[in-house]
Amino acid sequence: MAKTILIIDDDQSLVAPLREGLEAMGYRVAAAFDGLQGVQSARQVRPDLVILDFYMPGGGGAAVYERLRQGPDTALTPIVFSTVVSVEEVKGRIKPSAHTYFLRKPVGLGQLAALIRSVLGEAAAPSALEPQPPLLDRGAPQVSSPRVFDLPVRVTYADTDRMGVVYYANYLRFFEQGRTELLRGLGARYRDIETERGLFLPVAEASCRYAAPARYDDQIIVRTWVGALGKASVTFAYEVLDGEHRLASGRTRHAVVGEGWKPARLPDDLRAALSAYLGPAPEAP
């Protein structure tokens, strides 16, 4: 009989490809998108293993963990924490047992599958070692090369002005969408950075150079990468494309601040993840 995996994570865009990949490996997968739903689902499906996000609404990961460990049906169920914070920080906020495991985000499917097989005492199937791409649904954000992140965006009426073209300020919103999804793809959501690490990335400088207009119902690509990494700052670079034609380019420079909005050092693990997308930024207008 197939083993059952329960994923408790509020980010549906991350759960969907993970669920698809695990199901392709022969597991039964259930998902819950907040803490309360996760506890209820665990009681109903009695999973063989739980993948638990550390921070989410409806009860954070620590509270969910304690409730699962107190339940007679889940007290010994293997639980894998998936989080952007350090393992030491998670251990400091829970009472880890012999059946508790930890993975730092971003978590690759192969890495997760190897841990699941080890915990459940399964032999690795050759086909499971290298799952078939793509795991993302068609039309979802995709990494188009090792250094850039492409996000498809459909222009809506609300994006345009009386001239029938995208209002100039909305390109900065497109930049924000691209930046947010790049970080999400790294497993470092803005919310996690703020709530779990106590860090913020306010915009200190923004620029945009316009080359051609976009219009209602156009399918555009917002291309995002990292233009520079400072000790307490990060610069993101952008291009907005219509096919092979560049519509706009720009960049935003962000300070890294902590409590009291004092400058803070960019964490080493986040710096390493962002370095994979490091490339030259467009010149400022």
Separation CA 54–CA 8 (nearest Å):
9
Separation CA 231–CA 29 (nearest Å):
41
Q: Which residues pair with 175 in a beta bridge?
A: none
Domain presence at residue 281: no
Do residues 198 and 84 share a domain?
no
Domain presence at residue 282: no
Do residues 96 and 171 share a domain?
no
Indicate whether 143 pLDDT > 50.
Answer: no
Do residues 197 and 120 share a domain?
no
Separation CA 78–CA 199 (nearest Å):
31
Domain presence at residue 8: yes
CATH number for the domain that contains residue 62: 3.40.50.2300
Do residues 208 and 257 share a domain?
yes
Domain that holds residue 64: 4-129
Name 98's Cβ contacts closer than 8 Å, sequence gap at least 6: none
Mean pLDDT check: name the lowest of 16-30, 127-141, 168-182: 127-141
Do residues 179 and 113 share a domain?
no
Q: Which of 252, 276, 178, 167 is nearest to 214 (CA)?
A: 167
Choose the final residue of a domain: 96, 129, 162: 129
Do residues 255 and 195 share a domain?
yes
Rounded mean pLDDT of 41-67? 88
Do residues 59 and 15 share a domain?
yes
Structure tokens at 277: 């997308």
The SS3 of residue 235 is strand
Give residue 145's identity as a one-letter amino acid code.
Answer: S
Domain presence at residue 137: no
CATH number for the domain that contains residue 226: 3.10.129.10
Separation CA 115–CA 246 (nearest Å):
43
Mean pLDDT check: name the lowest of 79-88, 133-142, 192-201: 133-142
Name 201's Cβ contacts closer than 8 Å, sequence gap at least 6: 190, 193, 234, 254, 255, 256, 257
Do residues 41 and 15 share a domain?
yes
With residue 82 as reference, give the H or E element that holds it.
strand 79-83
Domain presence at residue 283: no
Do residues 146 and 125 share a domain?
no
* Chain position carrying tokens 């803490």: 35
Do residues 265 and 150 share a domain?
yes
Q: What domain count does the chain have?
A: 2
Do residues 148 and 111 share a domain?
no
Domain presence at residue 284: no
For the beta carbon of residue 246, count every other beta carbon within 10 angstroms: 16
Instruction: Give, to the nearest 10 degrees, the angle between helix 61-70 and helix 35-45.
Output: 30
The predicted pLDDT at position 55 comes to 78
Q: For 222-280, what is each residue's pLDDT tens digit? A: 999 999 999 999 999 999 999 889 999 999 999 999 989 999 999 888 888 898 889 88
Domain presence at residue 285: no
Separation CA 239–CA 220 (nearest Å):
10
Do residues 257 and 151 share a domain?
yes
The predicted pLDDT at position 165 comes to 96
Q: Which residues pair with 178 in a beta bridge?
A: none
Q: Which of 99, 250, 72 is nearest to 81 (CA)?
A: 99
Rounded mean pLDDT of 11-30? 86
Indicate whether 62 pLDDT > 70.
Answer: yes
Q: Are 52 and 79 in contact (CB under 8 A)?
A: yes
Choose the final residue of a domain: 108, 129, 150: 129
